[in-house]
Amino acid sequence: MSIEDQPRLSEPPAESARGQDGRPLQHAEAATKPVAVKAPREAQPRGAKIRGDRPIDQAEAAERFLAAPLHQAAHDARLWDLRTKRDTAAFGIPEWEELRELASAIKTHTLSRLDHYLEQFEAAAKANGVHVHWAADGADHNRIVHGILKDHGARSLIKSKSMLTEECGFRHYMATTGIEVIETDLGERIQQLDDEEPSHVVVPAVHKTRFDVAEVFARTMGTDPENDDAKYLAESQRMHTRPLILEADAGLTGCNFAIAETGTVVTCTNEGNADLSGNVPKLQIHSIGIEKLIPRIEHLGVFLRLLSRSALGSPITQYTSHFRAPRKGTEMHMVLVDNGRSERLGMEEFWTSLKCIRCGACMNTCPVYRRSGGLSYGATYSGPIGLIIDPTFNKRKYSTLPFSSTMNGSCTNVCPVKINIHEQIFAWRKVLAEEHQIPLLKQGMMKAAGQVLSRPAAYRAAIGAADSALKVLPRFAVYNPLNTWGKAREMPDSPGRSFHSWYKQNRMGKKAGAKTSAAKKDGAS
Amino acid sequence: MRIGLFVPCYVDAFEPEVGIATLELLERLGLDVEYPFDQTCCGQPMTNTGCHAEAAATEALFVRNFTGFDYVVTPSGSCAHQVREHLTAIPQTPEVTAVRERTYELVEFLHDVLKVEAFPWARFPHKVAYHSNCNALRGIHHAKPSELNAPAFSKPLDLLAKVSGIEVVKLARPDECCGFGGTFSVFEPAVSAKMGYDKVADQARAGADYVVSADSSCLMHQKGCADRVGVPLKFIHIARILNGATA
């Protein structure tokens, strides 16, 4: 394998993605790059194997993702492109770091008075003529929404992208009810048609290439399987879905921000699909995670300036829609969902993860995520934010995830609400080890390492004397009988002797003369 | 000024030259450097894996070895970060916090404490890519990370600028993690190695002959990756360059 074997991505065609002024658009939504190599096609790697509550093997799924180099290269390039555009957008605002600070402070304030703001929100929404519901968990949410739909005899529901409904397993639940659910976000629709979870909170099908999408659409909508032109595919999906939207009995959206003072739900999309879901059918439902609250409309601007810049590098989403009261002759419901949030709010080290505005910036910058794909995490939330949220849902199942990180800290630096993500990953590892949620082998190895490293004599014996170093060093280096180091990397050369024995030989007992002789040697070391 | 030299376990075992260069460099700068002979490790392999209880005895030994020095200096951003931020498995007595506060990574010690103006003996006539260890970069603030909208600075590049003949090349992804990640490198070997391959490819494309870093751990991983995929890069710790190594 050489470094030039990497699949290459070609530049986007010049005619696509121009703004109204004729200039090529620079923001990320306008700049997907086709994979230059046409053949052979490569099957899309699937996500982590789910086996009940057994710990997710992220490393195994990541290895399969890496074994599909076209997918991996396209995925990495696409997300790095988002990261680069995020930098450009963020650096265009002198007060960027101040904005992050402010957004974080607003969230701290709101979350520490959440009961107050939730009641204020409920009262305002009711005064606006909205039906307000409270759901303790995902199952509760699904039952409530199903109940509303049943009451109205609805047979079809159009919905816009919502991570909350993913969290609740809403689509799977609805499949058992006979009511058809149609996703209206393009990426989410692709995932629905392929019966796969979203792999990213903002770009849910980013792990798929155009070939994959052409295959899914050919299989489910009868399009030409050989045509992977993005315009053709998007248009086909539009023509296929638009009638379903127009005929739908009900619409459902998620919520980006819920304004306590006015009872408003704000959604941010680039496709306008939340507007379709909210405005076309006569029955509209908004599912709201209780952490989405902000006190007043004046606070919204802070988050809007951060959200799309962090997510895609564009100044603002194409659509920012405010839903407050039912239109004449229609009915509007809001479902406030807890699903573990109250419990998380009580976790001293982890509550600030509730500040998350689901921009995906941490995923885009994460070098592990870019190389393993979102589905490798086997959880609703993948990437760095997933590592710290998922274990709050199921400590055993997601016990491995906080280890799928190098804790490099880039996630923390891009987070628009300043969640200390990598420090929480570190803190989760401690919690999981204390509660014996890490593999016995791993903990045993660490215990052994701790015993060796705390006893100088044992340590010296382990790294060996000069002549036996070569034999002993590799094993010492990896603390690991399986030698996973050597599978993909060369072992380090043995230097022949340790610093310690050099020091003993050269410096012990002849300290006075040592300095001079050492200085003379410099340059030749 | 009494300096305690901390030579991390993997430097002791794999890169003794880095320990020697650090010792010699500090002595050349006129410092009284001692190497506590019973030292082993800072506890990071265990702590990094969540096993704090398993790290306690190693941490206690570290504090016993390094109590009483004005500064503890180590040629590793990662270990300095561990001691300063995460040496918490033992009771935080005044003795423990004193050792933690006085522990410095070599670059920041030269840059911030000694404020070294020149390394007249240092000459390195090569094209180099600088690799920031993530703990050095984002944990102990060696430089401005690429994510932040803040004034640019870099302590290691400030020091390298005082080395004659050196040329620093620009990477496409300057502070992307190389995938070492401590025990991550052995528990998630596939992703770790792929990150390493991508990193060395970036360095090679940028035209570097050498990769320079303040952390031997990252270099050891990158060298293993470069050797495996046949990328002809050489790897050298910054301590050796500042101490006058020419190749």
pLDDT tens per residue across span A140-150: 999 999 999 99
Conformational region of residue A358, where left means phi above 0, alpha means psi within -120 to 50, and beta covers everything else: left
Looking at chain A, the number of H-run helices and the number of E-run strands are: 24, 10
Of A93, A479, A490, the CB nearest to B224: A490
- For A509, phi then psi, to 5°, come to 75, 0
pLDDT (average), residues A160-171: 97
Q: Which of B6, B40, B78 to probe by mutation at the A interface, max A CB count within 10 Å?
A: B40
d(CA B26, CA B72): 12
Ordered DSSP codes for A205-255: TTTS-HHHHHHHHHHHH---TT---HHHHHHHHHHHHHHHHHH-SEEEE--
Of A403, A414, A489, the CB nearest to B224: A489
Furthest CA-CA distance within chain B: 50
Determine the residue type at A163.
M
CA distance A107 to chain B (A): 21
pLDDT tens per residue across span A73-88: 999 999 999 999 999 9
pLDDT tens per residue across span A318-364: 999 999 999 999 999 999 999 999 999 999 999 999 999 999 999 99
Determine the residue type at B155.
K
d(CA A219, CA A221): 6
**Cβ distance of B147 and A365 shorter than 8 Å:** yes
pLDDT tens track, chain B, 247 positions:
899 999 999 899 889 999 999 999 999 999 999 999 999 999 999 999 999 999 999 999 999 999 999 999 999 999 999 999 999 999 999 999 999 999 999 999 999 999 999 999 999 999 999 999 999 999 999 999 999 999 999 999 999 999 999 999 999 999 999 999 988 988 899 999 999 999 999 999 999 999 999 999 999 999 999 999 999 999 999 999 999 999 8
Q: Are B193 and A489 in contact (CB under 8 A)?
A: yes
pLDDT at residue A1 tops 50 = no
- At A442 the pLDDT is 85
pLDDT at residue A14 tops 90 = no
Using the Cα atoms of residue B147, residue B152, residue B158 and residue B161 in order, give the sign of their dihedral: positive
Q: Are A28 and A313 in contact (CB under 8 A)?
A: yes
Ordered DSSP codes for B171-196: PSSTT---S-TTTHHHHSHHHHHHHH
How many residues would you count in chain A? 525
- At A516 the pLDDT is 38
Query: Residue A281: is the preceding peptide bond cis (ω within 30°)?
Result: no
Of the candidates B171, B167, B146, the one whose C-alpha atom is nearest the C-alpha of residue B157 is B167
- At A41 the pLDDT is 81
**Cβ distance of A497 and B229 shorter than 8 Å:** no
Global pTM reads 0.92
d(CA A365, CA A359): 12
d(CA A234, CA B184): 40
DSSP-derived letter for residue A396 is T
Using the Cα atoms of residue A474, residue A480, residue A481 and residue A486 in order, give the sign of their dihedral: negative
Determine the residue type at A56.
I
CA distance B157 to chain A (A): 20
- Helices (DSSP H) in B103-188: which residue ranges? 106-108, 134, 155-160, 184-187
Three-state DSSP state, B142: coil
- Helices (DSSP H) in A37-95: which residue ranges? 58-66, 69-91
- At A482 the pLDDT is 53
Q: Residues of B with CB below 8 A from A476's CB?
A: 13
d(CA B100, CA B86): 9
Reading the block at residue B25, the tokens are: 């460099």
- At A474 the pLDDT is 43
| pLDDT tier at A197, thresholds 50, 70, 90 | very high
How many residues would you count in chain B? 247
pLDDT at residue A50 tops 70 = yes
Q: Which helix (H) or strand (E) holds B47?
A: helix B44-48
Of the candidates A74, A120, A521, A373, the one whose C-alpha atom is nearest the C-alpha of residue B21 is A521
CA distance A82 to chain B (A): 13
| pLDDT tier at A503, thresholds 50, 70, 90 | very high
d(CA A488, CA B224): 8
- At A488 the pLDDT is 83
| pLDDT tier at A458, thresholds 50, 70, 90 | confident
- At A493 the pLDDT is 76
Determine the residue type at A133.
H
The residue whose two tokens read 């991550």 is: B184
| pLDDT tier at A519, thresholds 50, 70, 90 | very low
d(CA B20, CA B35): 11
- At A19 the pLDDT is 64
**Cβ distance of B176 and A66 shorter than 8 Å:** no
CA distance A35 to chain B (A): 18
Q: Residues of B with CB below 8 A from A58's CB?
A: 188
* Long-range contacts of A114-122, Cβ-Cβ distance < 8 Å, separation of 24 or more: A114/A290, A114/A291, A114/A293, A114/A345, A117/A260, A117/A293, A117/A295, A118/A260, A118/A290, A118/A293, A118/A336, A120/A260, A120/A261, A121/A258, A121/A259, A121/A260, A121/A263, A121/A293, A121/A336, A122/A263, A122/A336
Higher pLDDT, residue B117 or A10:
B117
Pairing status of strand A319-323 against strand A264-269: antiparallel
| ipTM value > 0.95 | yes
pLDDT tens per residue across span A234-274: 999 999 999 999 999 999 999 999 999 999 999 999 999 99
With b meaning 16 or more CB within 10 Å and e meaning fewer, what string describes A22-50? eeebebbbbbbbbbeeeeeebebbebbee
Which residue from A minimizes the CA distance to B8? A499
Which residue from A minimizes the CA distance to B132? A408
Of the candidates B156, B149, B108, the one whose C-alpha atom is nearest the C-alpha of residue B132 is B156
- At A491 the pLDDT is 77
- At A448 the pLDDT is 85
pLDDT tens per residue across span A24-46: 665 555 555 555 555 568 999 99
pLDDT at residue A510 tops 80 = no
Reading the block at residue B165, the tokens are: 């003949």
The residue whose two tokens read 């592990």 is: A368
**Interface size, chain A vs chain B, as Cβ–Cβ contacts under 8 Å:** 271
- At A440 the pLDDT is 85
Three-state DSSP state, A182: strand
Of the candidates B147, B144, B191, the one whose C-alpha atom is nearest the C-alpha of residue A365 is B147
d(CA B126, CA B233): 12
Least confident range from A184-193, A243-252, A503-512, B52-61: namely A503-512
Pairing status of strand A319-323 against strand B71-74: unpaired
pLDDT tens per residue across span A461-500: 877 643 344 444 444 444 454 567 777 888 777 777 889 9
Q: Which of B5, B26, B76, B187 to probe by mutation at the A interface, max A CB count within 10 Å?
A: B187
Ordered DSSP codes for A310-365: HHTS-SS-SEEEEE-SPPTT-EEEEEEE-TTHHHHHT-TTTGGGGG-----HHHHH
Q: Are B229 and B200 in contact (CB under 8 A)?
A: yes
Does A427 touch chain B if contact means CB atoms closer than 8 Å?
no
Q: Are B130 and B168 in contact (CB under 8 A)?
A: yes
Enumerate the β-bridge partners of residue A323.
A265
d(CA A501, CA A459): 13
d(CA A281, CA A295): 29
**Cβ distance of A495 and B221 shorter than 8 Å:** no
pLDDT tens per residue across span A352-394: 999 999 999 999 999 999 999 999 999 999 999 999 999 999 9
Q: Which helix (H) or strand (E) holds B218?
A: helix B216-229
- At A23 the pLDDT is 67
Contact residues, A window 464-493, toward B, CB-based 8 Å cutoff: 469, 473, 476-480, 484-485, 487-493
